[in-house]
Copies of this chain bind each other. A is one copy, B any other.
Amino acid sequence: MKTLTYAQAVCEALDEEMAKDDKVVLLGEDVAFLGGNFKTSVGLYEKYGDLRVKDTPISEAGFTGLAIGMALTGLRPVVELMFSDFLLVAADQVINQAAKIRYMSGGQANVPMVIRTPIGAGRSSAAQHSQSMQAMVSHFPGLKVVVPSNAAEVKGLLKTAIRDNDPVIFFEHKMEYNKKFEIPDIVEPIPFGKARIAREGKDITIVATSSLVMKSEEAAEKLEKEGISVEVIDLRTIVPFDKETVINSVKKTGKLVIADESYERCGVAAEIAAEIFDEVFYYLDAPIGRVSTPNVPLPFSPALEFPIIPSVDRIYNKIKELI
């Protein structure tokens, strides 16, 4: 085991995959000389050079499209979008192009690219730099959507993402970048579509994504002291969705809370609830709870931002409400 920040874990995954496969190319704004706005590619430019670690102009649609062309012709580009909000600038390339090319070509072509991009509020970054875009991209068929929790997970899942032959949207959580985690010396790729039971429990299930896994574990710890046993599932990937693990857990506990930081309306929590509904309908003892970002743009002032972010307290309270 060793201690790493989450950002370092990202960087290690990039480094190891680039060392292993010279088709892997990193591009994005400030990824090269600066080593990434969140320091997730420090040292890679020096190690792999200008053609493999490329600072781009501010042209999100352009360089995302560029990466698609690279992916169609033999490379495995990893694109960094500095904030996941900028997916909206590149949305056509991501959703109308990358996601649909395999299908539109009848399987002739595929687009092995990864878009890495940070989500999450909590830094007073206001409405255009704080969003969590996983629901938006999950809505559109053709994209795999990864929402890793801790540093070991981010490393293992990023390796899988880079080796995957389809476009993968890989969401890192910006509030985790500087946090330290214990991680194994060697982290193997973690398969997509297999959720992780982060904590076993029997009274209620929480399905959580990204940093809300850690927050759910914290809430579970508190609740344990009150005699409530919470099962925490780290979803890992929204697409593909590990329906089985979730259903089995809910059948066992009879209660479900879903914690995901995208906006509530048409969000990830709504989807998971609706998706498993048929199969758990007769097992449920209470309505399904959602802990998401409320349907308002994210405010700048911490006085406004903190109360609305999905937090340990909000998870805790939602569970208490359903128990």
Interfacial residues, chain A to chain B (CB-CB below 8 A): 85-86, 88-89, 91-92, 95-96, 99-100, 103-104, 126-128, 135-136, 138-142, 239, 262-263, 265-271, 273-275, 277-278, 281, 284, 286-288, 290, 295-297, 299
Minimal beta-carbon separation of A300 from chain B (angstroms): 8
Is the beta-carbon distance between B138 and A266 smaller than 8 angstroms?
Answer: yes
By a CB distance below 8 angstroms, the chain B residues around A139 are 135-136, 139, 262-263, 265-267
Complex Cα–Cα for A278 and B286 (A): 8
Which of A85, A99, A270, A295 gathers the greatest number of chain B CB atoms within 10 Å?
A270
A225 to chain B, nearest CB (A): 27
Would you give 15 A-B contacts (Cβ < 8 Å), ordered by A?
A88-B91, A89-B92, A91-B92, A103-B299, A104-B128, A139-B267, A141-B263, A141-B265, A142-B297, A266-B266, A266-B267, A269-B274, A273-B273, A274-B288, A277-B287
Q: A141-B295, A273-B270 are in contact. Are A88 and B92 (CB under 8 A)?
A: yes
Separation of A263 and B92 alpha carbons in the complex (Å): 17
Separation of A239 and B303 alpha carbons in the complex (Å): 27
Determine how close the nearest CB of chain B comes to the CB of A109; give it in whole angstroms.
13
Give the complex CA separation of A284 and B266 in angstroms.
21
Compute how far the CA of A206 lies from the CA of B166 in the bound complex, rounded to whole angstroms: 37
A45 to B74, CA, bound (A): 49
CB-CB < 8 A to A96: which residues of B?
A: 85, 88, 127-128
Closest Cβ of chain B to A186, distance in Å, is 34
Distance of A32 from chain B, by nearest CB (Å) = 24
Q: How far is the CB of A86 from chain B (nearest CB, A)?
A: 8
Which chain B residue lies CB-closest to A294? B141
3 A-B pairs with the lowest CB-CB distances in the bound complex, closest first: A270-B274, A91-B91, A88-B91
Of the candidates B127, B268, B278, the one whose C-beta lies within 8 Å of that of A103 is B127
Chain B positions within 8 Å of A281 at CB level: 284, 286-287
* Cβ-neighbour of A265 out of B91, B128, B239, B265 (below 8 A): B239
